[in-house]
């Protein structure tokens, strides 16, 4: 991935300022602490998750909606585990 550092900085910023406070809280600390550990494919999956919007991210995080994407499942599971949700 070209310019990985800038890409990660943008994802961290987007994670902290998603548009809804609940999602900001859900993703902000997670991004600060774990986003650097993701590989390029996982970073792209995380970006795609952010692009899907706050309501969907919230539904996925509380199991109201399920995803078929294995990468998205992995990212959501990491977020839930970090936040202490039942995984």
pLDDT at position 86 over 90: no
Tell me the pLDDT band of 20, cut-offs 50, 70 and 90.
very high
Q: Which value, to the nearest 10 degrees, does the dihedral of the CA atoms of residues 62, 16, 77, 73 take? A: 90
Confidence of residue 59 (pLDDT cuts 50, 70, 90): very high
Helix 40-51 to helix 70-83 angle (10° resolution) is 80
- The Cα–Cα gap between 56 and 14 comes to 15
Which of 32-36, 73-77, 82-86 has the least mean pLDDT?
82-86
């Amino acid at each position: 991935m070209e310019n990985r550092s800038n890409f990660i900085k943008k994802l961290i910023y987007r994670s902290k300022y998603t548009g809804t406070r609940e999602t900001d809280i859900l993703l902000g600390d997670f991004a600060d602490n774990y986003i650097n550990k993701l590989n390029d494919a996982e970073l792209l999956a995380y970006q795609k998750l952010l692009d899907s919007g706050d309501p969907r991210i919230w539904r996925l995080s509380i199991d109201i909606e399920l995803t078929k994407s294995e990468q998205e499942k992995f990212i959501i599971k990491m977020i839930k585990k970090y936040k202490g949700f039942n995984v």
